[in-house]
Amino acid sequence: VPDPAMFDDLMAQGLRRQGMLFYKPECQGCRACLPIRVPVSRFRPSRSQRRLLSKYGTRYEVTTGPARYEPEHFEMYAAHAKHVSSRNQSDNAGLYRLAFVDSLIQTHFFEYRIDGELVAVSILDAGETSVSSVYAFWDPRFAQFSPGTFSALWELDWALSHNKTYYYLGYW
């Protein structure tokens, strides 16, 4: 079981977490997947990101809690997965739990609500000096509020307020 410092080392080596596993894509003869690492203290939102925060930032109510299975989260995940992907596994609660809820490290679930209605959920792993965005999903009916971008900006702000050095977003 990795401790927070070991988690930071794994992230610095370009690994990601899904469920209880850490992985790194390694295709023979290919180095196309590059980890995205944002130095938290140096991040400045772009013009469009500032516009998003100005326009919708006060509409969102955000709460956080530990990794847990919530039927409301799963239903949103399944709707989001069907909207953005053709994968057939989106309706399997067991696979959802294995991929997102089961974790060897400190994992936070952020809930984003507008007028009391769940709009999005994002999942963030935390190490000693870094955080890693595991996944974010949202209700397709609220796409106009840019919940994916908003959740990344929220996670970055959370990382800054918790004195984290790096924010990992996945692969480019």
Q: Tell whether pTM > 0.75.
A: yes
In 1-146, alpha helices (H): 4-12, 47-56, 71-84, 93-96
Each residue's pLDDT expressed in tens, for the chain with a length of 172 residues: 789 999 999 999 999 999 898 988 888 888 788 889 999 999 999 999 999 999 999 999 999 999 999 999 999 999 898 877 755 556 789 999 999 999 999 999 999 999 999 999 999 999 999 999 999 999 999 999 999 999 999 999 999 999 999 999 988 8
pLDDT on residue 82: 82
Q: Is residue 65 classed as helix, strand or coil in its secondary structure?
A: strand
* Bridging pattern class, strands 16-18 and 106-114: unpaired
Long-range contacts of range 50-57, CB-CB < 8 Å, 24 or more positions apart? 52/146, 52/149, 52/150, 52/153, 53/150, 53/153, 56/145, 56/146, 56/150, 57/150
What letter does residue 162 receive in the DSSP assignment? T
pLDDT on residue 87: 57
pLDDT on residue 26: 83
Could you please report the per-residue DSSP string of 81-106? HHHH---SGGG-HHHHIIIII--SSE
pLDDT on residue 134: 96
135: left (phi over 0), alpha (psi -120 to 50) or beta: beta
Contact yes or no for 71/123 (Cβ under 8 A) = no
pLDDT on residue 90: 66
pLDDT on residue 9: 95
**121 burial level (CB within 10 Å; 0-12, 13-18, 19+):** buried
Q: Please, which residues bridge with residue 137 across strands?
A: 121
Contact yes or no for 84/96 (Cβ under 8 A) = no
Average pLDDT over all residues of the chain: 92
